[in-house]
Amino acid sequence: MPELPEVETVRRQLAGTLIGRTIERITLRRTDVIRGAGPRRFRETLRGQTVEALDRRGKALIVRLSDGVALLVHLGMTGRFCLAPPGVPLAEHTHMIAYLADGGRLVFRDPRRFGHLELTCADALDETETLRNVGIDALAPEFTAARLSEALAGRTAPIKAALLDQRRFAGVGNIYACEALFRAHIDPTALCGELDAQQVKALHRALRAVLRASIAAEGTTIADYVNGNGVPGGFQRRLRVYGREGEACPSRGCTGTIARIVQSNRSTFYCPLCQRA
DNA sequence: CGGACAACCTGGTTGC
DNA sequence: TGCAACCAGGTTGTCC
């Protein structure tokens, strides 16, 4: 489900509704989604904490609490972190419930359980399991075309695989990697070293543009992603290649057909005609 | 070291 | 209808 735009959408919505509210108690229905502390310490540390801010780095959500405590949320493929509607039974696969002092319920739900919650100190974020291998955010002002160029330098992997690597810059997943490569007219199978400076610049611009456009549309919903208010995103209608195998290439004047190939076990969608190394 | 690949999970869809 | 195979927004460990 969640790449940078989807996590950013959740962050913005929760920032609007959660800041200043206090956790009264925590219920864990499964403990294997918890990191950084055992279940008992997890519950006891969060009890009585007030939400002060919500931040994000790449695909990770950072909930900053009173007392210098932080809760890191990674949604994996199917995770949701949102307020449960009042008066309705909690959905299946709800692993953690934070009962708020005002009666609200903040829940973590994740059928596939690739996501997790990690408890940490706000000043130790870089050492956490969730963030220790995560580079700068792909929408941070410091992530310039020059930084992208550095990130790709010396690599021999195909560019598509390099975009999914969160270590040098973070937030790009399978959908937006495909979409950015299409917008920049770059062949996803091209090796990093084969791109010239102009292509790297075009790719940087395409990455930032597609991430921003998706945030403006409140993210992409393929199957079951919903934002903090339970509403699906709108960007799936504006995807140009992802999930569009067999359709005509949407580039003006291009007569190609969108193809699907597999790269490092993930689907890549692209136009073999207008995306060139 | 980097890169390819399997593994981790559940659920929905497809095809026989 | 039933069931197996395949697919899915991510990350990590293992092997080369």
**Is residue A158 located within the same domain as residue A121?**
no
A178 CA – C16 C1', rounded, Å: 28
Residue type, A221: T
A276 within domain boundaries: no
**Is residue A114 located within the same domain as residue A173?**
no
Catalytic site includes residue A142: no
**pLDDT tens digits along A102-148:** 999 999 999 999 999 999 999 999 999 999 999 999 999 999 999 99
Domain count, chain A: 2
Query: Which domain-ending residue is among A127, A149, A171?
Result: A127
pLDDT (0 to 100) of residue A140: 98
Catalytic site includes residue A80: no
Query: Which domain-ending residue is among A127, A154, A189?
Result: A127
**Is residue A198 located within the same domain as residue A145?**
yes
The tokens of A130 are what? 């969730």
**Is residue A220 located within the same domain as residue A112?**
no
**Average pLDDT score, chain A:** 95
**Is residue A234 located within the same domain as residue A188?**
yes
A277 within domain boundaries: no
Determine the Cα–Cα distance for residues A91 and A81; give it in Å rounded to an integer: 12
Catalytic site includes residue A2: yes
A162 within domain boundaries: yes
Query: Which domain-ending residue is among A84, A99, A127?
Result: A127
**Is residue A196 located within the same domain as residue A221?**
yes
**Is residue A110 located within the same domain as residue A152?**
no
Strand runs (DSSP E) across chain A, as ranges?
23-28, 34-35, 51-57, 60-65, 69-74, 80-83, 94-100, 105-109, 116-121, 136-137, 169-170, 259-263, 266-270
pLDDT (0 to 100) of residue A277: 77
**Phi/psi class of residue A246: alpha, beta or left (left: φ > 0; alpha: ψ in -120 to 50)?**
left
A142 within domain boundaries: yes
Residue whose C-alpha is closest to residue A17's, from A78, A74, A81:
A81
CATH number at residue A38: 3.20.190.10
Q: Does nucleic acid strand B have an atom less than 7 angstroms from the CB of A162?
A: yes
Determine the Cα–Cα distance for residues A14 and A55; give it in Å rounded to an integer: 10
Whether the pLDDT of residue A231 is over 80: the answer is no
A200 within domain boundaries: yes
**pLDDT tens digits along A193-213:** 999 999 999 999 999 999 999
Determine the Cα–Cα distance for residues A94 and A81; give it in Å rounded to an integer: 10
Q: Give the domain extent around A90.
A: 4-127
**pLDDT tens digits along A152-197:** 999 999 999 999 999 999 999 999 999 999 999 999 999 999 999 9
**pLDDT tens digits along A17-57:** 999 999 999 999 999 999 999 999 999 999 999 999 999 99
Catalytic site includes residue A89: no
**Is residue A92 located within the same domain as residue A184?**
no
pLDDT (0 to 100) of residue A1: 63
CATH number at residue A218: 1.10.8.50
* Maximum Cα–Cα distance across chain A: 61
A52 with A66: CB under 8 angstroms?
Answer: yes
A161 CA – B1 C1', rounded, Å: 17
A259 against A222, higher pLDDT: A259
**Is residue A12 located within the same domain as residue A106?**
yes
A26 within domain boundaries: yes
**Is residue A54 located within the same domain as residue A101?**
yes
Task: State CA A26 to chain mean position distance.
Answer: 25
**Is residue A8 located within the same domain as residue A97?**
yes
The tokens of A20 are what? 């200043």
Q: Does nucleic acid strand B have an atom less than 7 angstroms from the CB of A113?
A: yes
Average pLDDT over every residue of A240-252: 95
Residue whose C-alpha is closest to residue A81's, from A45, A117, A118:
A117
**Is residue A100 located within the same domain as residue A186?**
no
pLDDT (0 to 100) of residue A223: 74
A60 with A3: CB under 8 angstroms?
Answer: no
Cβ within 7 Å of nucleic strand C, residues: A 1-3, 6, 58-59, 74, 76-78, 112, 114, 129, 133, 164, 166, 173-175, 219-225, 233, 265-267
Task: State CA A18 to chain mean position distance.
Answer: 20
Task: State CA A13 to chain mean position distance.
Answer: 15
